[in-house]
C-alpha cells in the first residue's frame, strides 16, 4: 500500500470506531488519560490495527 492509502485507511478507522468510543471515555474518566491511551494502543483491536499501519509507514 502507498503512504497516502495507509493514511486514508487509518483516518477511516479512527473516524468510524474511535470517535465517541465508550471504552475510551470510561477508562479516561475512571483511571485517567494515560491509562485510556495505553488501553487503546495495546488492548483494543482497532488500536492494534492503527499501530500496524503506523509501523508500515515507518
- pTM > 0.85: no
Q: Centre a 10 Å sphere on the Cβ of residue 41 and count the other Cβ atoms it contains.
A: 13
What is the reported pLDDT for 58? 86
What is the reported pLDDT for 3? 93
**Taking a C-beta distance cutoff of 8 angstroms, is the pair 36, 27 a contact?**
yes
What is the reported pLDDT for 1? 74
Domain count, the chain: 1
- What distance in Å separates the CA atoms of residue 57 and residue 46, rounded to the nearest whole number? 17
Residue 15 to residues 11, 18, 20, 58, Cα–Cα distance (Å): 6, 6, 9, 22
* pLDDT tens for each residue of 2-56: 999 999 999 999 999 999 999 999 999 999 999 999 999 999 999 999 999 999 9
Domain hosting 12: range is 3-57
What is the reported pLDDT for 49? 94
Cell numbers placing 48: 492494534
Amino acid at each position: 500500500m502507498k503512504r497516502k492509502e495507509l493514511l486514508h485507511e487509518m483516518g477511516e478507522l479512527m473516524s468510524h470506531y474511535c470517535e465517541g468510543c465508550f471504552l475510551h471515555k470510561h477508562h479516561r474518566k475512571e483511571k485517567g488519560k494515560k491509562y485510556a491511551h495505553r488501553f487503546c494502543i495495546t488492548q483494543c483491536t482497532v488500536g492494534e490495527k492503527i499501530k500496524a499501519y503506523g509501523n508500515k509507514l515507518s
